[in-house]
Amino acid sequence: MKRIVCLDVGDVRVGVAASDPTRTIATPVEVIHRVGWGPDWRRIKEICDRFETDEILSGLPLNMDGTEGFQARKVREFCAQAEKHGLRVCFQDERLTTVTAEEALLEDGMGRLERKQNVDKVAAAVILQQWLDENRKGE
Protein backbone atom coordinates (compact mmCIF):
# COMPACT_ATOMS: atom_id res chain seq x y z
CA MET A 1 0.00 0.00 0.00
CA LYS A 2 1.02 3.58 -0.41
CA ARG A 3 -0.04 6.82 1.14
CA ILE A 4 -2.80 9.01 -0.19
CA VAL A 5 -2.85 12.81 -0.02
CA CYS A 6 -6.16 14.54 0.65
CA LEU A 7 -7.20 18.05 -0.37
CA ASP A 8 -9.87 20.29 1.08
CA VAL A 9 -10.14 22.74 -1.81
CA GLY A 10 -11.42 26.23 -1.15
CA ASP A 11 -11.35 29.47 -3.10
CA VAL A 12 -8.58 30.96 -0.91
CA ARG A 13 -6.86 27.97 0.72
CA VAL A 14 -6.31 24.25 0.16
CA GLY A 15 -6.03 22.12 3.26
CA VAL A 16 -3.74 19.12 2.86
CA ALA A 17 -3.60 15.88 4.84
CA ALA A 18 -1.86 12.55 4.22
CA SER A 19 -2.34 8.98 5.30
CA ASP A 20 0.25 6.72 6.81
CA PRO A 21 1.62 3.96 4.52
CA THR A 22 -0.92 1.43 5.85
CA ARG A 23 -3.81 3.80 5.06
CA THR A 24 -5.03 3.68 8.64
CA ILE A 25 -4.42 7.18 10.05
CA ALA A 26 -4.91 10.62 8.49
CA THR A 27 -2.62 13.45 9.56
CA PRO A 28 -2.94 17.17 8.77
CA VAL A 29 0.02 18.38 6.66
CA GLU A 30 -0.29 22.03 5.65
CA VAL A 31 -2.45 24.80 4.25
CA ILE A 32 -1.67 26.08 0.76
CA HIS A 33 -2.67 29.69 0.15
CA ARG A 34 -4.00 29.71 -3.40
CA VAL A 35 -2.20 31.91 -5.91
CA GLY A 36 -3.12 30.24 -9.21
CA TRP A 37 -3.60 26.79 -10.67
CA GLY A 38 0.02 26.43 -11.83
CA PRO A 39 1.71 27.27 -8.52
CA ASP A 40 -1.03 25.53 -6.51
CA TRP A 41 -0.62 22.27 -8.42
CA ARG A 42 3.18 22.45 -8.36
CA ARG A 43 3.00 22.64 -4.55
CA ILE A 44 0.51 19.75 -4.41
CA LYS A 45 2.81 17.69 -6.66
CA GLU A 46 5.77 18.47 -4.35
CA ILE A 47 3.74 17.21 -1.39
CA CYS A 48 2.76 14.05 -3.28
CA ASP A 49 6.41 13.46 -4.17
CA ARG A 50 7.39 13.91 -0.52
CA PHE A 51 4.83 11.27 0.50
CA GLU A 52 5.73 9.07 -2.49
CA THR A 53 2.24 8.89 -3.93
CA ASP A 54 0.40 9.79 -7.10
CA GLU A 55 -3.04 9.38 -5.51
CA ILE A 56 -5.16 12.28 -4.33
CA LEU A 57 -8.46 12.27 -2.53
CA SER A 58 -10.38 15.51 -2.76
CA GLY A 59 -13.28 16.55 -0.62
CA LEU A 60 -16.38 17.24 -2.71
CA PRO A 61 -18.68 19.91 -1.24
CA LEU A 62 -22.11 18.43 -1.93
CA ASN A 63 -25.35 20.19 -1.10
CA MET A 64 -27.15 18.88 2.00
CA ASP A 65 -29.49 16.87 -0.29
CA GLY A 66 -26.46 15.14 -1.86
CA THR A 67 -26.52 16.97 -5.18
CA GLU A 68 -23.57 18.78 -6.71
CA GLY A 69 -23.76 22.54 -6.88
CA PHE A 70 -21.55 25.41 -8.02
CA GLN A 71 -18.79 24.81 -5.44
CA ALA A 72 -18.57 21.09 -6.29
CA ARG A 73 -18.14 21.99 -9.97
CA LYS A 74 -15.32 24.38 -9.03
CA VAL A 75 -13.57 21.63 -7.05
CA ARG A 76 -13.93 19.15 -9.93
CA GLU A 77 -12.53 21.77 -12.32
CA PHE A 78 -9.56 22.43 -10.02
CA CYS A 79 -8.89 18.70 -9.62
CA ALA A 80 -9.04 18.13 -13.37
CA GLN A 81 -5.57 19.70 -13.42
CA ALA A 82 -4.13 16.76 -11.44
CA GLU A 83 -3.76 14.60 -14.53
CA LYS A 84 -1.36 17.14 -16.04
CA HIS A 85 0.93 16.44 -13.08
CA GLY A 86 0.67 12.66 -13.28
CA LEU A 87 -1.75 12.44 -10.35
CA ARG A 88 -4.99 10.49 -10.02
CA VAL A 89 -7.95 11.93 -8.10
CA CYS A 90 -10.97 10.42 -6.42
CA PHE A 91 -13.61 12.29 -4.44
CA GLN A 92 -15.20 12.02 -0.99
CA ASP A 93 -18.33 13.74 0.31
CA GLU A 94 -17.11 16.50 2.61
CA ARG A 95 -20.40 17.70 4.07
CA LEU A 96 -19.95 19.04 7.62
CA THR A 97 -16.23 18.21 7.80
CA THR A 98 -15.23 21.83 8.38
CA VAL A 99 -17.72 21.99 11.24
CA THR A 100 -16.20 18.80 12.70
CA ALA A 101 -12.68 20.22 12.31
CA GLU A 102 -13.68 23.53 13.89
CA GLU A 103 -15.24 21.73 16.86
CA ALA A 104 -12.10 19.62 17.36
CA LEU A 105 -9.90 22.71 17.34
CA LEU A 106 -12.22 24.45 19.82
CA GLU A 107 -12.00 21.42 22.12
CA ASP A 108 -8.20 21.72 21.93
CA GLY A 109 -8.56 25.29 23.20
CA MET A 110 -7.25 27.00 20.07
CA GLY A 111 -7.92 30.69 19.69
CA ARG A 112 -9.78 32.10 16.70
CA LEU A 113 -6.70 33.09 14.70
CA GLU A 114 -4.93 29.77 15.25
CA ARG A 115 -8.13 27.90 14.30
CA LYS A 116 -8.38 29.88 11.08
CA GLN A 117 -4.79 28.95 10.20
CA ASN A 118 -5.35 25.24 10.89
CA VAL A 119 -8.98 24.40 10.12
CA ASP A 120 -8.43 23.62 6.42
CA LYS A 121 -5.72 21.00 7.00
CA VAL A 122 -7.69 19.49 9.89
CA ALA A 123 -10.79 19.35 7.66
CA ALA A 124 -8.67 17.57 5.03
CA ALA A 125 -7.64 15.06 7.70
CA VAL A 126 -11.30 14.53 8.68
CA ILE A 127 -12.24 13.92 5.02
CA LEU A 128 -9.34 11.51 4.59
CA GLN A 129 -10.04 9.64 7.83
CA GLN A 130 -13.68 9.14 6.80
CA TRP A 131 -12.52 7.75 3.44
CA LEU A 132 -9.91 5.49 5.06
CA ASP A 133 -12.47 4.14 7.54
CA GLU A 134 -15.08 3.53 4.80
CA ASN A 135 -12.57 1.77 2.55
CA ARG A 136 -11.20 -0.39 5.36
CA LYS A 137 -14.65 -1.82 6.26
CA GLY A 138 -14.56 -4.31 3.37
CA GLU A 139 -11.18 -5.77 4.37
Q: Does the pLDDT value for residue 139 go beyond 60?
A: no
* Separation CA 104–CA 91 (nearest Å): 23
Mean pLDDT of all residues belonging to the chain? 87
**Burial (Cβ within 10 Å: 0-12, 13-18, ≥19) of residue 86:** exposed
The per-residue pLDDT for range 4-57, each reduced to its tens digit, is 999 999 999 999 999 999 999 999 999 999 999 999 999 999 999 999 999 999
**Which CATH code is given to the segment(s) 5-136?**
3.30.420.140
Q: Does the pLDDT value for residue 138 go beyond 60?
A: no
Q: How much is the pLDDT for 69?
A: 87
62 close to 95: Cβ distance less than 8 angstroms:
yes
User: What residues contact 132, with CB distance under 8 A and at least 6 apart?
Assistant: 19, 23, 24, 25, 26
Q: Compare 42 and 136 and report the one with higher pLDDT.
A: 42
